[in-house]
Chains A and B, each alone.
Chain A
């Protein structure tokens, strides 16, 4: 279908009042696009904030109420899971830094309103990994990757332990010691991220001695950007770009935020991802970014040809993953970005070995 027409979901994310023009098939389409983008609860939150819920016709309103039930449950489950994690790590004398979705939710940020996520991500010092892992194991979390190669892949080359799943609750925790793989070309120093982290209140009934924290505003934006623009898979691309948009919307007005953003990105080796994040947030959501910042960050971007190529690729990856929003180039674009994601993750020789191993040697999961 049309590649240039702005998808309905994006129109509504930019300006929620656009829903007032929708007929019932339009509402069906909006909810389906939101579901595929995993942004249904975000849509509900935006409509609520704009006082539009009362204007929604009965049938889609019923769906929004179904979504509310799931969202309420999700928010409760996150609080409880963070509490359980703090209990498990009590006594290790380290701050637990929440990343991404769990951070937005627990800090009460705009970006957390209606934001769904399946795993809780935390950042701890690399030296503490063994202690953290054993404390989690003693409290019911177990590793999910039993293949010896997968264990080596995570432990030697990645920036996190293999994901751990709680045996009773089924919830998954990703324990990170950095925000990019050890083998990636960019090396944002995790010690700098930890040093700038900001404490937040722990949920009720969590152990008193535990310190819960989130990344500082600049670092949070940069992490969101690097996560989105270094990954190979984009089924949450639109949702993650909306995170960037909402974080910038909330932090932007604070004094000094814009002046410090590009210098901090350079300091952490994250200028390129910031360039892409600002460019595409502005293009897709009309995020207000000061002209001075746009000019400065341009020096972190690639040349004009490469920028144009990447616009073509990201332009497709950052649409709702709904058949109505795709065109003939969507498949090839996602394929190339997948290759790029792996390319950024590992040096070429290691990558070839890894892909060879994954394609031909690792046992297939039974269907």
Chain B
């Protein structure tokens, strides 16, 4: 199987500038086209272990990221996104091209992939048990996710949990883990071997860097996982590590609030979410010490729902 790492850099650049790089992420094939050199470098670094599909197949999502022409390209270079001529977003400074690609890959899934109940949540697996971490931004979800990945958990997704209505299993979509602001330093310090992208400052979410997904997680991207726990994490400076049960009805509503397409799925969304919440232990989790948090999660992975 061809991977991004197996493509010589000039060939990678030529595909990105030409008909597109057919990058497989989990169940999806993305056709990425760009003339932004830094973006090609970012893809080479962060997606080295991902499969590249041969031309002639079906493409799920088309992403075109270009530097707009005109005077501005010399003064304040930008990167603009379009899909088949439609540009739903404002251009961003070219330095933010890589985070923009990551946001767009999420956006494509959240807009269209209604074959799954899509939850805004990290999801990781150990001992055959998947733990779902739904949380609004600022709750420390990605930090915890990155730490669990560094600690040997399988990454299914940092951003988007894909629940299959047919069997209730979670389909993996392992991609780089986004780290914001202080958590970049926290993860660097805790896991000196972790591969992080360069930090990008001044994005709408502050300073942002990405942790490369582990090769083993990418290799198992076709292998679904059985959900066992839903944990709503909350980082609080100085807080003692505490895992507490949440009533299922409340957990249901909170997950629905964190879903991209719960309303769009109608009855099927309700049934899928009810089955998920029924099958899982539901908890809130407060923490400040990452080491204690990891130990608690290891215990959780040994316990059933």
- Determine, out of A28-36, A243-251, A260-268, A271-279, the stretch whose residues face the partner at the interface: A28-36
* Other A-B pairs beyond A25-B58, A36-B85, A69-B264, 4, CB < 8 Å: A23-B56, A59-B60, A63-B112, A73-B266
Consensus secondary structure, chain B interface: loop
- Determine if B43 is an interface residue (Cβ-Cβ < 8 Å): no
- Determine if A72 is an interface residue (Cβ-Cβ < 8 Å): yes
Flag B75-108 by CB within 8 Å of A: 1 or 0 each.
0000000001110001000000000000000000
Which one of B55, B62, B114, B264 lies within 8 Å of A32 (CB-CB)?
B62
> Inside 8 A of B222's CB, which chain A residues have their CB?
none
The reply to whether B57 and A24 form a contact with Cβ atoms under 8 Å apart is yes
> Inside 8 A of B114's CB, which chain A residues have their CB?
65-66, 69-70
A25, closest chain B residue (CB): B56
Which one of B56, B57, B86, B115 lies within 8 Å of A62 (CB-CB)?
B115
Interface size on B, residues (CB 8 A): 20
The number of residue pairs between A and B whose CB atoms lie closer than 8 Å in the complex comes to 55
Consensus secondary structure, chain A interface: helix
The reply to whether A24 and B56 form a contact with Cβ atoms under 8 Å apart is yes
Supposing A24-B58, A25-B56, A57-B58 touch, asked if A73 and B84 sit within 8 A by C-beta, the answer is: no
> In chain B between 30 and 66, which residues have their CB closer than 8 angstroms to a CB of chain A?
55-60, 62
Interface size on A, residues (CB 8 A): 26
The reply to whether A73 and B90 form a contact with Cβ atoms under 8 Å apart is no
* CA gap between A35 and B88 in the complex, in Å: 14
* CA gap between A27 and B60 in the complex, in Å: 10
**Would you give the shortest CB distance from B90 to chain A, in whole angstroms?**
6
* CA gap between A200 and B57 in the complex, in Å: 47
Supposing A28-B59, A57-B58 touch, asked if A69 and B84 sit within 8 A by C-beta, the answer is: no
Supposing A70-B264, A73-B263 touch, asked if A28 and B115 sit within 8 A by C-beta, the answer is: no
> Inside 8 A of B115's CB, which chain A residues have their CB?
62, 65-66, 69
* CA gap between A321 and B84 in the complex, in Å: 9
Which one of A25, A36, A63, A72 lies within 8 Å of B266 (CB-CB)?
A72
A76, closest chain B residue (CB): B266
> In chain A between 88 and 106, which residues have their CB closer than 8 angstroms to a CB of chain B?
none
- Determine if A211 is an interface residue (Cβ-Cβ < 8 Å): no
> In chain B between 232 and 283, which residues have their CB closer than 8 angstroms to a CB of chain A?
263-266, 268
* CA gap between A223 and B92 in the complex, in Å: 42
Name the residue among B90, B115, B268 with the largest chain A CB count within 10 angstroms. B115
List the 7 closest A-B pairs by CB distance, nearest first.
Answer: A59-B58, A69-B114, A24-B58, A66-B114, A323-B85, A28-B59, A32-B84
- Determine if B190 is an interface residue (Cβ-Cβ < 8 Å): no
* CA gap between A60 and B112 in the complex, in Å: 13
> Inside 8 A of A70's CB, which chain B residues have their CB?
114, 264
The reply to whether B60 and A63 form a contact with Cβ atoms under 8 Å apart is yes
- Determine if B113 is an interface residue (Cβ-Cβ < 8 Å): yes
> Inside 8 A of B58's CB, which chain A residues have their CB?
24-25, 27-28, 57, 59-60
What would 17 A/B residue contacts be, using CB atoms closer than 8 Å?
Answer: A24-B57, A24-B58, A25-B56, A28-B62, A32-B62, A32-B84, A36-B84, A59-B60, A65-B114, A66-B112, A69-B264, A69-B265, A69-B268, A72-B266, A76-B266, A326-B85, A367-B90
- Determine if A166 is an interface residue (Cβ-Cβ < 8 Å): no
